[in-house]
Chain A
Amino acid sequence: MTVAHDAGAPAVKPVKSRRPSVGWILIGLAGLLVLMSLLRIVTGANDLDSSGTLSATLVAAIPIGLAGLGGLWAERAGIVNIGLEGMMILGTFGAGYFGYFYGPWQGVVGAIVLGAAGGLLHAIATVSFGVDHIVSGVAINIIAAGAVQYLAALAFTGVPGGGQTQSPTIGSLPTLTISGLSRPLGDLEAKHWFVVSDLASVARALVTNLSLLTLLCLALFALTYVVLWRTTFGLRLRSCGESPAAAESLGVDVIRYKFIAVIISGGFAGLAGGFLALVASSTFRDGQTGGRGYIGLAAMIFGNWRPGGLLAGAGLFGYTDTLRLRGGGETIHGLLLFVAVALVLLAAWQVRKGATTSAYVTGGIGVVIGLWYALSDSIPEDLTGMTPYVTTLLVLALASQRLRMPAADGKPYRRGSAG
């Protein structure tokens, strides 16, 4: 996705972003846990990191993350995919149709296949015919929404428990619960001790009612990293997103890699839709995606086109969504304090780096949010729904210089462009 435009501006070398090591990530996670614990105790909002919230967060984050992975695969190969939303919609229907008529695992496959079909359409339009990526994405979103409404009416009208806009209940996928651990951890969590209870709730969320599909989806993040950054296939695929002409000049079949990448992208988006229908709920409903394809795209940008960062973004967005759904006006209100403090700290850091203007803006937003926290008791539910979008806008506005998208992302490519 074309994020940075700079008309006639100096060809400045982008600041080299050093990726954090595993150690730093662990320290960061530990710090986050301590902070959350502190915040929970200061604000008294115990639901901030209860195991219920965390399980729900996982379920909310995975469709976003999968959609983001879909975006990542396509954009790493240089194809912008805002058709993710449409492919997700196809996925929800695939899961509903095949899940109801054939069984839940068939539903998973159906979701992936229909999503991938959407990807194939996007690939044909953008790669074979050179259609602008955004235009094709918009078209696919329109087509997919219409097609699914049409097909759903055809498939589910008159089926017991189903209707024009929704499928009957789909059989559920197996879940895992380690009851020997789940119960004692629950007791520990209920004590609301500093850090200890927080750790317990994290652990409990991971051993209670965990869908097998959730685990598989989590594995896909690791798999994506390994495939894209540690294999020949991945190197070739990424080279198509960085410099297709160079790749072509070395005999890489750029068209083929772009096709594969976009089809996989569609498959991921389809799976994201399938997850919504199969795990997050147990029916297909029209409009089930609710713009999560776009949030996935946002999470991918938030994560700087890398799977780890994307996972963090999906987690953040899933978390805010969860708090909203759990009616957590007060809980989110507690988070405001966290955001305010974080922004003020960021502003201080910017001052040290000499970026005074940015620091004023950051600090100003921080102070406003802090005031909001001080002067109100709760946040209306409607507004919490904005969180992912506003966060993304803020990240883009404050850190766009540090983001590094694939160099040839979104640019049309035609065979024979080497040299």
Chain B
Amino acid sequence: MRLVLAFGAPALALVAAFLITSLVLVVAGDSVSGVWGQILSLPTHRGYVNIINAATVYYLSAVAVAIGFRMNLFNIGVDGQYRVASFAAAVVAGEAWLPGYLNTALAVVAAIFAGAMWAGIAGLLRVTRGVSEVISTIMLNATATALVAYLLRKTAIDGGSSNIVSTKPVPEGSRVGGFTLFSDTPTQVYGMLILAVVVGVAYGFVINRTRFGFDLRATGASETAAVASGINVKRMVVVSMLLSGAIAGLVGLPLLFGNDYAYGSTFQSGLGFAGIAIALLGRNHPFGIALGALLFAFLDEQANPLQILLNISPDIVKITQGTIVLTVVIAYEVVRRYGIRLEQRRVSTALDDEPPSAPIEQEVRA
């Protein structure tokens, strides 16, 4: 029964989101069957690789968000954190102070550090001044945009006549090679996929099996109960913001070391917000997030040819993705309420001599 509930909710949400998107297509007069026919077709071999690569990046972003969610912290700032961190990593890698993969490792450390520090500002403001992390991370995102633009201009190499400014390229020896999945396409799976897998496994283990993870979840479930149980909530807030920011720092690295080899004004943006959506879709569960990341990457990849094939803007899938966020949250909430009723019924039938307390209507975020 629990399993049915767990998978029924997202399935329901997806169907709802598809229906709503179809409605938009109908109203706009575009071909519904054409769009879904393309999106739900089998990807090409190159498409599979692209989906895995995009999902890798989404996955890291979503895990960064999920760490915050588990603690009832809303890190909207992953977007700014990964950009600051990617820039820092690109600068370090471009300078090539160390040879080969040592240089890569140093850049990864720089990214983790930069991401953690940028998120740490929000954590510190919250514990020392009581500033909501939602507001401060929104402000920090915009600040990051301006700061990175400024620093990029300062450190950029001369891009010749083009408008694109970027950091020094990562030297050949420090790039991370990929795996070949299909021999008939030159596109490779990012080597940094391994990083995402390691992060996912570590996240699942720490959250569910360790004392630290228990403290984190307890704080997220009830801050007041956490304080009474002896958890230093302020410290937990700072630590989890730092952790979330550190993971956010990794988000841009597969792109940097496997694709772009430099940080420029065209570096992919908006990954942080996708991470929020995917973390919600995957219910902060390491495996669920992976499925969510693959789904989002799949939609992106499959929508790409729409412009050429049907002259329909591929942005239509953004409507689907955004709608999924809403429908999935609604579906989980409906299922959760149903689950509580089920549980109470079980309790009262098991002990029908006992008057249970009033129905709990504890609302939880995410």
A and B touch in the complex (CB under 8 A): yes
- Chain A residues with a Cβ under 8 A of chain B: 1-8, 82, 121, 125, 129-132, 134-136, 138-147, 149-151, 153-154, 164, 291, 294-295, 297-298, 301, 380, 382-383, 385-386, 388-390, 392-393, 396-398, 400-401, 411-412, 414, 417
A154 to B139, CA, bound (A): 33
Q: Which residue of A lies closest to B219 (CB)?
A: A7
Query: In this assembly, does B243 line the interface, its C-beta being within 8 Å of a C-beta of chain A?
Result: no
Q: What is the CB-to-nearest-CB distance from A286 to chain B, in angstroms, rounded to a whole number?
A: 10
Per-position binary interface string of chain B over residues 1-39, scored 1 when its CB falls under 8 Å from any chain A CB and 0 otherwise: 000000000000000000000001000101000000000
B side interface size, CB within 8 A: 56
CA distance A4 to B76 in the complex (A): 17
Does B285 count as interface, using CB distance less than 8 angstroms? Answer: no
Interface of A: prevailing SS: helix
Most chain A C-beta atoms within 10 Å of own C-beta, residue among B142, B228, B317:
B142
Within 8 Å CB of A150, what residues of B?
24, 28, 312-313, 315-316, 318-319
Asked whether B319 lies within 8 Å of A147 as measured between CB atoms, the reply is: yes
| Cα(A297)–Cα(B142), bound, Å | 13
Q: Give A405 to B313 CA distance when docked, in angstroms.
A: 41
Q: Is B140's beta carbon under 8 Å from chain A?
A: yes
> Given A129-B330, A131-B333, A138-B273, A4–B130 Cβ distance below 8 Å?
yes
**Bound form: Cα–Cα A153–B76 in Å:** 29
- Judge whether A389 and B139 touch: CB under 8 Å: yes
Residues of B within 8 A of A398 (CB): 129
- Chain A CB within 10 A, most for which of B125, B134, B321: B134
Q: Are A386 and B146 in contact (CB under 8 A)?
A: yes
Whether B325 lies near A146 (C-beta < 8 A) is no
A residues near B156, Cβ cutoff 8 Å: none
In the docked arrangement, what's the CA distance between A385 and B139, Å? Answer: 12
Check if B273 sits within 8 Å of A294, measured CB to CB: no
Of A134, A139, A151, chain B has the most CB atoms within 10 Å of the CB of A139
Given A129-B333, A150-B319, A397-B125, residue A135 in contact with residue B146 (CB < 8 A): no
Q: State whether A393 touches B139 (Cβ < 8 A).
A: yes
Q: Mark B274-309, 1 if CB is under 8 A from A, else 0.
A: 001100100000000000000000000000000000
Determine if A8 and B227 form an interchain contact, defined as CB atoms under 8 angstroms apart: yes
A294 touches B142 (CB 8 A): yes
Inter-chain contacts of A390 with B (CB < 8 A):
139, 143
For A139, what are the chain B residues with a Cβ–Cβ distance below 8 Å? 277, 322-323, 325-326, 329
Partner of A142, one of B76, B223, B224, B277: B277
In angstroms, Cα B138 to Cα A1, docked, is 12
- Are B273 and A153 in contact, CB atoms less than 8 angstroms apart? no
The interface stretch among B186-194, B244-252, B345-353, B358-366 is: B358-366
| Partner-contacting stretch, out of B86-94, B147-155, B208-216 | B147-155
CB pair A4–B132 under 8 Å, yes or no, is yes
Contacts of A151 in B (CB 8 A): 28
Contact between chains at B146 and A385 (CB < 8 Å): yes
Q: CB distance A125 to B227 under 8 Å?
A: no
Shortest distance between the CB of A263 and any CB in chain B (Å)? 17
Q: What's the Cα separation between A114 and B30 when bound, in Å? A: 21
A-chain residues with CB within 8 Å of residue B318 when the two chains form the complex: 142-143, 145-147, 149-150
A8 and B228 within 8 A (CB): yes
Interface residues of B (CB under 8 A from A): 24, 28, 30, 74, 76, 125-126, 129-132, 134-136, 138-140, 142-143, 145-147, 149-150, 153, 223-224, 226-228, 233-234, 273, 276-277, 280, 312-313, 315-319, 321-323, 325-326, 329-330, 333-334, 361, 363, 365-366
Subset of 25 A-B contacts with CB under 8 Å: A7-B224, A7-B227, A8-B224, A8-B228, A82-B134, A125-B326, A129-B334, A134-B76, A135-B326, A138-B273, A141-B273, A141-B322, A142-B273, A146-B315, A150-B28, A151-B28, A153-B315, A164-B313, A297-B138, A298-B138, A301-B135, A383-B147, A386-B143, A392-B135, A417-B361
Q: Is the CB of B129 within 8 A of A380?
A: no
Give Cα distance in the complex from A139 to B273, angstroms: 9
The minimal Cβ–Cβ distance linking B314 to chain A, given in whole angstroms, is: 9
Cα A382 to Cα B329 in complex, Å, equals: 38
Contacting residues, chain A, for B333 (C-beta < 8 A): 129-131
Task: Enumerate the 9 nearest inter-chain pairs by beta-carbon distance, A residue then B residue, closest first.
Answer: A146-B318, A143-B322, A142-B322, A382-B150, A8-B227, A139-B325, A149-B315, A153-B313, A389-B139
**A residues in contact with B326, CB < 8 Å:** 121, 125, 131, 135-136, 139, 143
Name B329's closest neighbour in chain A (CB-CB): A131
- The answer for the CA separation of A136 and B326 in the assembled complex, in Å, is 6
Give 13 A-B pairs besides A4-B130, A150-B28, A386-B142 with Cβ atoms closer than 8 angstroms: A1-B132, A1-B134, A7-B233, A125-B326, A125-B330, A138-B273, A146-B316, A147-B318, A294-B139, A382-B147, A383-B150, A389-B139, A396-B129
Tell me the complex Cα distance, A130–B335, Å.
13
* Residues of chain A within 8 A of B142, CB atoms compared: 291, 294-295, 385-386, 388-389
Q: Which residues of A contact B131 (CB under 8 A)?
A: 3-4, 393, 396-397, 400
B239 to chain A, nearest CB (A): 14
Q: Cβ of B28: which chain A residues have Cβ within 8 Å of it?
A: 150-151, 154
The reply to whether A2 and B134 contact each other, CB–CB distance below 8 Å, is: yes
CA–CA, A411 and B364, complex, Å: 10
| Residue in chain A with minimal CB distance to B131 | A396
With A134-B74, A139-B326 as known contacts, state yes or no: A146 contacts B319, CB within 8 Å.
Answer: yes
Q: Which residues on A sit within 8 Å (CB–CB) of B146? A: 382-383, 385-386, 389
Alpha-carbon separation in the docked complex, A135 to B273 (Å): 10
Measured between beta carbons, the chain A residues less than 8 angstroms from B319 are 143, 146-147, 150
B126 & A5 in contact (Cβ 8 Å cutoff) = yes
Q: Which residue of A lies closest to B128 (CB)?
A: A397
Q: Which residues of A contact B223 (CB under 8 A)?
A: 5, 7-8
